[in-house]
């Protein structure tokens, strides 16, 4: 449920466009152009790097040697002068996901939810801005949904491109420029499907069922699925970090996951020495 004092806008440019749009719209909330970033993987790292063009970025924790965990929030060094605190809820490249909403002591909290948007219920009121590219869980590529508290509108820097200005887009019903009509239409169909199938709460239950099926095989493999394989062609690997990623988004059915689980079992039996 989205409170009445939030605006929902539909933009182009994907999540990467929001890496620029967030600082361009929010860094003017306070003097000094300070912004806090929690960097837990490739996507938040890219966001922080982009923000450095417009803001003095403070990574709130010591630099991580590898992206394998969420730093203990008690160790975070939040800047009280920061205009906002930014994090990515689910780092798909490195497999790191927040299982909590950070307590940022009343600061404006910004979250990239591109890969787990509508995979579970979310208390929107805890956030200043939520954004998500549609292509993971709610549609096809081409549209990004932004949920922004109305009190945060109107602070864009003068150099902010008008198509990325949250206030301009909200005031024009996301129609300031020609919107990605087809992508928005597909998103509408997916939203209806989610609603008719129990909403975000039902998606959460299905996600747990699907993920447990895969985790059971990995956990009971006695290390087989923790080693590197040379059998698969490199062209099929994750382009960023290699390896194979099992995507269990909302559109992936339990039956689909059962097929993957069956393959994983047979592959293990065939190649275990």
Alpha helix (H) residue ranges in the chain? 14-26, 42-51, 166-171, 181-196, 199-219, 254-271
Closest CA to 84 of 40, 49, 32: 32
Which residues are known to be catalytic? Answer: 43, 112, 136
- Residue by residue, DSSP assigns 184-209 as HHHHHHHHHHHHHTTHHHHHHHHHHH
d(CA 160, CA 12): 15
Least Cα distance to 165 among 175, 147, 153 occurs for 153
Q: In sequence order, which residues have a C-beta less than 8 Å from that of residue 230 and are 6 or more positions away?
A: none
Cβ atoms of 157 and 54 closer than 8 Å: yes
């Amino acid at each position: 449920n989205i409170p009445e004092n939030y605006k929902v806008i539909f933009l182009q440019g994907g999540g990467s466009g929001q890496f620029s749009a967030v600082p361009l719209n929010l860094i003017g909330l306070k003097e000094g152009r300070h912004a806090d970033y929690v960097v837990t993987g490739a996507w938040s790292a890219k966001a922080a790097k982009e923000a450095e063009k417009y803001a003095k970025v403070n990574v709130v924790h010591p630099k991580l040697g590898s992206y394998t965990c969420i730093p203990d929030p008690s160790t975070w060094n939040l800047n009280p002068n920061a205009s906002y605190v930014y994090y990515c809820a689910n780092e798909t490249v490195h497999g790191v996901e927040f299982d909590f909403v950070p307590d940022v002591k009343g600061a404006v909290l910004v979250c990239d939810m591109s890969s787990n948007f509508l995979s579970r219920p979310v208390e929107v009121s805890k956030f200043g801005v939520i954004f998500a590219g549609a292509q993971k869980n709610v549609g096809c590529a081409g549209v990004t949904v932004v949920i922004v508290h109305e009190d945060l509108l109107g602070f864009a820097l003068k150099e902010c491109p008008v198509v990325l200005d949250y206030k301009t887009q909200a005031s024009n019903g996301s129609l300031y420029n020609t919107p990605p009509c087809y992508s928005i239409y597909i998103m509408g169909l997916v939203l209806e499907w989610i609603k008719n199938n129990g909403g975000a709460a039902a998606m959460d239950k299905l996600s747990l069922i699907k993920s447990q099926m895969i985790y059971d095989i990995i956990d009971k493999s006695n290390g087989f699925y923790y080693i590197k394989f040379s059998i698969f062609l490199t062209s099929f690997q994750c382009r960023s970090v290699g390896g194979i990623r099992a995507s269990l988004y909302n559109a992936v059915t339990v039956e689909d996951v059962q097929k993957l689980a069956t393959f994983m079992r047979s592959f293990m039996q065939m190649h275990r020495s």
